[in-house]
Amino acid sequence: MKKSKDDLRGIFLDDVPLFSNPVEWLQSWIDEAEAAEIHDANAMVLVTVDNLGKPGARVVLLKEIINDDLVFYTNYTSRKAHDLMVSDRVAVVFHWRDLDRQIRVEGVASLLSPELSDKYFDSRPEGSKIGAWASPQSKSIPNRAYLETIRTNFEKEFAGKEIPRPSYWGGYRIYIENIEFWKGRDDRLHDRIQFFRAIHGWNYRRLAP
């Protein structure tokens, strides 16, 4: 059942964080979005910049949180991967409209280890594994039939076999430098709490809406 916006008003922290680690807070907001039956509750807009400093944004799914790093999976020859080769700085936004909540993250992306990428790839359904092999992500292709043909060829090639992870597909982890929690409130006097790294743990401050 969907929660209405008002169910959540007033439970936002006052000026004392409910968690000392904001990543636990992020996880709790995703869990609550899932409980509220929001589709793709783990979807986040990922912003990268190219070699000219031109930003690009797209949605990816947060698949894991490992040692407080945000992990997503993609094609290592995609546009975003090219961007990450020239600049590892990223921005991420989650938005759950029905809960009137937003989270903004700024951080640094790095490649996930091949072992962890293998582990995740092995857990995927067969169709998704074939899809990873079949898509030259972000490249220009002549038409839909081209994609279907590559898919069919890989289906034949891997029929009855274990499907290995393509070397050009895997994860990135985002080290969080700062993370801001936003909760819509009446009269546009929203709550904004930003956490940033301190020598031990995290510090936080309230920002004006």
Ligand X SMILES: Cc1cc2nc3c(=O)[nH]c(=O)nc-3n(C[C@H](O)[C@H](O)[C@H](O)COP(=O)(O)O)c2cc1C
Active site (catalytic) residues: 188
Q: Which tokens belong to 36?
A: 């509220």
Closest approach of Cβ 82 to ligand X, in Å?
Answer: 8
Which one, 13 or 49, has the nearer CB to ligand X?
Answer: 49
Q: By CB under 6 A, which span of 23-31, 54-62, 98-106, 122-130 interacts with ligand X? A: 54-62
Which one, 77 or 194, has the nearer CB to ligand X?
Answer: 77
Instruction: Give the separation between CA 72 and CA 191, rounded to whole angstroms.
Output: 28
Q: Which of 177, 183, 124, 129 is nearest to 157 (CA)?
A: 129
Scan residues 72-131 and list those touching ligand X (CB under 6 A): 72-74, 78-80
Which one, 78 or 193, has the nearer CB to ligand X?
Answer: 78
The type of residue at 125 is P
Which one among 56, 114, 201, 209 touches ligand X, defined by CB under 6 A?
Answer: 56
| Letter string b/e over residues 121-158, b meaning 16 or more CB atoms within 10 A of that residue's CB | beeeeeeebbbbbbbebeeeeeeeeeeeebbeebeeee
Which one, 44 or 176, has the nearer CB to ligand X?
Answer: 44
Closest approach of Cβ 137 to ligand X, in Å?
Answer: 5
Which one among 58, 89, 124, 192 touches ligand X, defined by CB under 6 A?
Answer: 58
Angle at 121 between CA 116 and CA 123, to 5 degrees: 100
Intra-chain end-to-end CA distance of the chain, in Å: 30
Q: Which residues bind to ligand X, rule: CB under 6 A?
A: 40, 43, 56, 58-61, 72-74, 78-80, 137-138
